[in-house]
Every structure is written in C-alpha cells, then in structure tokens.
Structure 1
C-alpha cells in the first residue's frame, strides 16, 4: 500500500546483457555512463549533482530531443529527477528512490527503482522494477522507456571493454 492507501503500481522490464554483473553494476554507478545510456529514446540526459554512495545520489535533467514529444514533467521539454541511492549491493542490486520535480500532483511521490542483476552464464539478466509509480506516468510508455534504457545499457557495455 502507498499513497493514500492505493495499491502500489509496479512497472517492470528486463533484458539479458552480454556483460558481467560487476560491469553492469559499474555502469549504474558511473556518471558518464549514466548520462550516456540512461536517457530513453528521444531524450538526452545531463547529471547536475553526483554522489555515488549509499545515501548519496544524483540529479538528472532529461531533455526531449523533439519538444513536441513532451510535455515534460518539469517543463514543456524537460523532466528533472532527484535520485537517491537507497541500497547498493555490488554486482547484485541497486535500489534508487526517484522524485520528479513537477507542479502536477499526478507526478508527486517517491518512485523506487530496483535494478536486480543475476548471472546468466554468458551475461547478466538485468530486471528493473519500479514501484510506487506516480499515476501521471503512463504504464506502457514507462515500461517502453525502461526497456529503451536497458537496450542503451546493453549497447554501451557490449560495444567494448570500457567497464569490463
């Protein structure tokens, strides 16, 4: 239960990535990596604050490449999100608490994103589960966005030995 007794919504996406769990974990805690792969299709990201430790976090500005694709949660062309690293288990899990900067109460509240990493032999199964998703975020678009970020993460890690 969350927000005024409503049932917590969960959005989820997963992908097997041809990289070690430690490489995936490293890409979740590397500023330049996150700016590169985390923004979903149609967006670019810039990190303004960076504290890569448990209890730390980051502030990211996501900008729509085509403002007509918006509107954003923070402005017509942007989503600004403050993310806390709630739990860091090297090579296993990263738990983030995300709060969007928005005037619209449909985007209010803290969404939790859990990145689970499981060895899959030749790679790592990465599952992202978002709980307490604000009701203003469309489920299909959100899950497509998570899947897009996972595809970018796979391309980032599978392109070369940068974090392996």
Structure 2
C-alpha cells in the first residue's frame, strides 16, 4: 500500500483566488517553499500536461541535507488535472541519486468553499520512502501557512 501524507487549513480567500495562486509562477515562488527554504521556478507551463521545475534551496542545510545536492531539492512537477477553483493535481518527481526518493508522488490540492474562505486540503500519495512523514506533513503545513499569508495579504 502506498503512503499517503496530508495537511489542510482554511484560508480567508475565495477558491478562485487560492486557485490563481496555485497557477501563477511568481505567486508559487513566493509561498510554496516551506519555512527555511526559498524557491526558484526554472520552467513554467501552467496547463494540463504542462508543469514546472522548481529549485528549492535550504537557507541552512546543516540539519536538512538536500535530496538533489547538499543544499537543494529539485522537483519536476507535471500538471495532471486542473479544475478551476476546485482542484490541482500534480505529479512530482525529485531529482536525486538516492533510490529512496525515486518514483512519482501525486499531490492533490483540493479547494472547497468554507464560509467566506476556502478549505484547502493537500493529499500526497505514493510518497517516496526517503521522505520523513513528519517532516513532509510539517512542510506541507508550512507551505499552506505561506499560501494563506500570501493570498490574505493580497485580498
């Protein structure tokens, strides 16, 4: 059975606003990197069948060695499904020599109206075994907190 990691939160913005932040290159660079990292998008094609390549750099790699290099995680992300204001499904592949990070992880960002905001639930399936569950769920939660701050400040 494949491993599933989850995180979620309610964000004080409409589903359309949150969806827009999931599909805007500059927005993604600003909010997706979890605490302790920064990100740079190298390739961007926001359509089903398209995707992006992101380089995530650890601000202090001492306690968090990267998967791709000592200080970086590089991911190739494909957009498998895009449903405006409802769902973004991504296929994520880590660039890593270590086989414990191999394979394709699916990340589904589900958006549901919740009062004046949006409940955002992220479900990661087929998570590579080299990724620590606690660290991964904390990283997703950190990205969601960044997303909330980003869209709520813009609104």
Query: Per the shorter chain, which TM-score range?
Result: over 0.9
Q: Give the distance between the partners of 1:12 and 1:146, measured in 2 at CA.
A: 8
Q: Give the distance between the partners of 1:34 and 1:68, measured in 2 at CA.
A: 25
Q: Give the distance between the partners of 2:149 and 2:30, measured in 1 at CA.
A: 10
Correspondences of 1:1-164 after superposition (within 5 Å): 7-161=1-155
TM score, norm. by length of structure 1: 0.94
TM score, norm. by length of structure 2: 0.99
Q: Give the distance between the partners of 1:70 and 1:144, measured in 2 at CA.
A: 14
Runs (5+) with no aligned partner, structure 2: none
1:67 deviates by 1.7
Q: Give the distance between the partners of 1:74 and 1:54, measured in 2 at CA.
A: 26
**Aligned residue pairs, count:** 155
The one-character-per-residue Cα deviations of 1:2-56 (angstroms, maximum 9, x if unpaired) are xxxxx11000000000000000000000000000000000000000000010100
Q: Give the distance between the partners of 1:154 and 1:11, measured in 2 at CA.
A: 20
* Aligned residues: CA RMSD: 0.5
1:83 deviates by 0.0
Runs (5+) with no aligned partner, structure 1: 1-6
1:160 deviates by 2.2
1:70 deviates by 2.1
Q: Give the distance between the partners of 2:99 and 2:61, measured in 1 at CA.
A: 22
1:122 deviates by 1.2
